[in-house]
Structures are given as C-alpha cells and as structure tokens.
Amino acid sequence: MCNFYYGKESKLLVGKKKALPLNNNKEISFDHIEIISRKSKKKISINQISKLPKELKTKIFLDLKKITLKKKNFSNFNFQKLPNFMGVLNLTPDSFSDGGKFNKKSKGAKHALQMFKSGAKIIDVGGESTRPGSKTINKKIEWKRIEKILKQISKKIPISLDTRKSEIMKKGVKEGIKLINDVSGLKYDTQTVSILKKYKTPFVIQHSKGTPDNMQNKPRYNNELLDIYDFFEEKIKFLRLAGINHNNIIIDPGIGFGKNLKHNMSLIRNISIFHSLGFPILVGNSRKSFIKELSGTNDTKNRIGGTAASSIYLMMQGVQVLRVHDVNEMQQTLKVFKQLLRY
C-alpha cells in the first residue's frame, strides 16, 4: 500500500471509489500499491490491478481483502482509531531509556496510571531489559520485579506483559494481563506457544535477529523488508499448525532489534507492507537509537522530537499501535496533527 490519504480528503476519495480504506476506516485510505519481489519493485494505481496477469491479480485481491477488512478490537485497543498508544513501564535497573526510574512500587504504579489517564490504551510492563548488550536474568528475579505492581494495577488498567519466559507469562495471565509482548518472536522459550494456546491470551510477535547481548553485532539480511515479512508468514503458519487459530495477534517488525540504521529506515519507510499479513501492526519507535543517528541527540530522554516525527509518519502509514514512553506528548502531537488535517 502506498500514496495514503487522511481525514476529510480520504473520506471524499473513498466515497468516490478512487481510494480504498484501510481496515474499513474511511479516515485513512490509499490509491496505489507497490508490487515487491526480491528482484524488482513496481508501483501501480488500484485502477490498474485488473490489467495484471491472472495469478498475480488473484494474489493482490486476496491481500487487499485482508488490508481493507475491519479489524476486530481486543486488549482494549480500538483499531478504527489510529494510533493506539501502548505506554512503556520498565521496572528494570538497566533499561536503555529509563532504567531504575520506576523501580519502586509506588512510583511505577503512579506512572502507569498517569500514562493511562494521558491516553495509553494499555501499559506494557517489563522486568527484564532487552536493550542491546543486555544479559538474560533469572526468572525469579524478573518476577520479583513485577509481581507487586501487577497485583496493584492489573485490576485497574489494562496491562501488557513484556517477557520472553513462559513461566512469567503464566503467572501474569493469572493476574489478569490483557496482552503478552514477547520480543524474541516466541523463540526464546519452547513452552511459550503451549502457554499461548492454553490461555488464548492475545500476543505480540516481534521480529528480533539474534539475542539482546549480540543482536547489534553487524546484523545482516538479504533483503530486510522481505526477510522479515517472510519471518511473519512462516511464524503464523507455525502457530496455526500448533493449534492457535484466533486472530488476536499483533506483529512488530522490531525496530532496533538486530537492525542497523539502514534496516530501521527501510522498515519504517515501507511499514505498510505488513498490512497485507492481515494483523494489526505495532512499532516501538520511542527514543530509539535511529533518532540519535539521524539527529545527533545522544541522551535518550531528549529524543521526544524524533519520536514525535516518526510517530506522525507511522500513523500516516496506518500503523495501529505505537509503543511509547512519553504518552502525553505523543497524544498531544497527534491530536494537533489530526486537527490540522481537518481544517
């Protein structure tokens, strides 16, 4: 999908059948598609699809059906209103952005409630840092970091659990979490899929190349865009064979997880390719290193401008969920931007 329209112009074009709505949402639409292979790229208008060879045309119409179909809401997300914010709550001493800041139960709970009041649809709670270079911690330590705060806030606001460990997932489900966010792409723990199948909890599949301690050691791809797309296709097939048949799944291309600047830019600029998989897209762009590399701002807390700029771009590509640290600032950024489009 490419050549997007938003707001009043989008509604007008959809009404005239000159553009197709994303997820049956007339607020955002597109009138061109890009046909991508490992050898070539070709951009055509939606009106030219009928002139393509039969086999290719059939495949494109199947993809368009998934792209334009209304998404079922889950985990407190409303996929008809873009974007949904996932607030970040790191209960770790060594997170890349805010390590140690919210370790105390009272501070963590207060911050989680504040992010929810500011507009976050769900709060992503993590007790293990997965920043580049970080080491795996014992599951007992991880659970100890998050147990008290989960018990305190999971009945008050929707919680996503950021963990790679099946035992932590199981305990979190019993505390009432609404989403599991596994940055390993369900690869770290062999029991994860069994837990997801048993409890039917919605989850995020994130692409990650390598593990946190080595993922930034000269990551390589044949074609980062198509390699990661293929990863998701294969993972969904694997999950179906494993008996997970529901569609309460979100995909995350994993910005900064085994990617250099070129890879990250390619993914962000072409993020709409993942809509044809048929699942909501989540992107964690907040305070990431690509902002430092593009702007020269090294201090993670001073990357709000870069987070805001990339959030606008991602929203305009139809990304349904943005995982951010600064919920109030991002909410304000996109609220003003949307209003400007309406005038």
Catalytic annotation present for 342: no
pLDDT for the residue 96: 47
d(CA 21, CA 37): 24
pLDDT, one tens digit for every residue, the chain (343 residues): 999 999 889 999 999 999 999 999 999 999 999 999 999 999 999 999 999 999 999 999 999 999 999 999 999 999 999 999 999 999 988 554 554 555 555 789 999 999 999 999 999 999 998 888 778 899 999 999 999 999 999 999 999 999 999 999 999 999 999 999 999 999 999 999 999 999 999 999 999 998 787 778 889 999 999 999 999 999 999 999 999 999 999 999 999 999 999 999 999 999 999 999 999 999 999 999 999 999 987 788 899 999 999 999 999 999 999 999 999 999 999 999 988 887 6
Cβ burial of 335 (10 Å; 0-12, 13-18, 19+) is exposed
- CATH 3.20.20.20 for the 84-342 domain, yes or no: yes
The torsion angles phi and psi of 30, rounded to 5 degrees, stand at: -145, 155
The dihedral through the CA atoms of 229, 232, 238, 244 has a sign that is negative
Identity (one letter) of the amino acid at 193? V
Using DSSP, state whether 278 is helix, strand or coil. Answer: coil
Range(s) within the chain of domains with CATH label 3.20.20.20:
84-342
Joined together, the tokens standing for residue 177 give 């979490």
pLDDT for the residue 167: 97
Identity (one letter) of the amino acid at 291? I
Q: Which of 288, 303, 338, 342 is catalytic?
A: 288
Q: Report the percent of the chain where pLDDT is more than 90.
A: 85
What is the pTM (predicted TM-score) of this model?
Answer: 0.94
d(CA 339, CA 168): 42
Q: Which of 220, 323, 338, 342 is catalytic?
A: 323
Catalytic annotation present for 287: no
